[in-house]
Amino acid sequence: MAALAEHKIKIRYEGGLADENALPGYDGAVSIDGITRAVHIALHAYMTGEVTSRATALKRASIQIRPARQGSFVFELVLLIEAYPATSGLVGAIGAPMIYDFLKTAFKRATGGLDAEPENRILQNLYHRQEPPPLKVPPVDLDELAEILEGCLQDAHRPIGPDGIETISIGSPRQELVSFNLDTKDWVNTREQSEDLEILRGNVTRYNSMSRNARVYIDEFRRIVPMRPAGDFDVSSLALLSWSLHGSNIGTHNKLDLQVRRVFSASGKVKRLLLSGCERVPV
């Protein structure tokens, strides 16, 4: 049997019943399940480069729950991972710092931190494509993963409310990675998507040719937002996304008029755009 590396994830609930070392029964159980599923899906993506919407069976890894401690309500998830997987993937090559950084980036993006990027240098190089991937496991699309994680994290946030739990923090043994609160609860609970198409002008700043997800700077918003093709998008227009990205990289202004629908958070913030069509802006 291969040696197992142990990585601990500490989850702390604070406020309300949590300060008495308890959680509301149903909401607390749903929350713990949501966090565990989110970690499971993120770990699967980290090890395989594959984003899945379900907590499928982990290969060469497992997750255990260890009991709550006194004080605020605290429990641990323990990730048991083969130290040197046969795939020579991220886990065996680097270890805990990359795992924690990956989870932090994925969870922050999924809870409204759209600009969250890895801090680990090797992860930065991998996701920014500054050098060829040195490992056999391909880099996962972080925006795609963030969107998938939202369902689990809706459950994770369930006990948070004005009269209930105030915060849930998730961290390594040494530091907090991400904190959930009323603001992040608002973000993961999608309100709706707009029914009508609109035209927004912008340029592509990042594009994943595998998932076809992109990031675009929208002139009207004055910020970058995630974007993915909708079901009615004509794939023959994908080349325009690459064209716009190339123009951004070389400092020109390769703008597109994007036919999109907005996806909102519960309070009406734009979370992402669904792309139905695009065309070049005449120079």
Contact call for residues 83 and 5 (beta carbons, < 8 A): yes
Q: What gap in Å lies between CA 26 and CA 20, rounded to an integer? A: 17
The structure's pTM equals 0.83
- Residue 228 confidence (pLDDT) above 80: yes
pLDDT of residue 83: 57
For the residues 201-208, what does the mean pLDDT come to? 91
In tens, the pLDDT along 124-165 reads: 777 765 444 444 555 788 999 999 999 999 999 999 998 889
Does pLDDT of 271 surpass 90? yes
C-beta contacts of 230-239 below 8 A and 24+ residues apart? 230/261, 230/274, 230/275, 230/276, 232/276, 233/275, 233/276, 233/277, 234/277, 237/277, 237/278, 237/279, 238/212
Task: Mention every residue, 6+ apart, whose C-beta is less than 8 A from residue 244.
Answer: 203, 204, 254, 255, 256
- Residue-wise pLDDT for 24-67, tens only, equals 999 999 999 999 999 999 998 888 878 887 766 677 777 877 77
Give the per-residue pLDDT at 272: 94
- For 191-280, CATH number out of 2.40.128, 2.40.50, 1.10.3470, 1.10.472 equals 2.40.50
| Domain segments of the chain as ranges | 4-188, 191-280
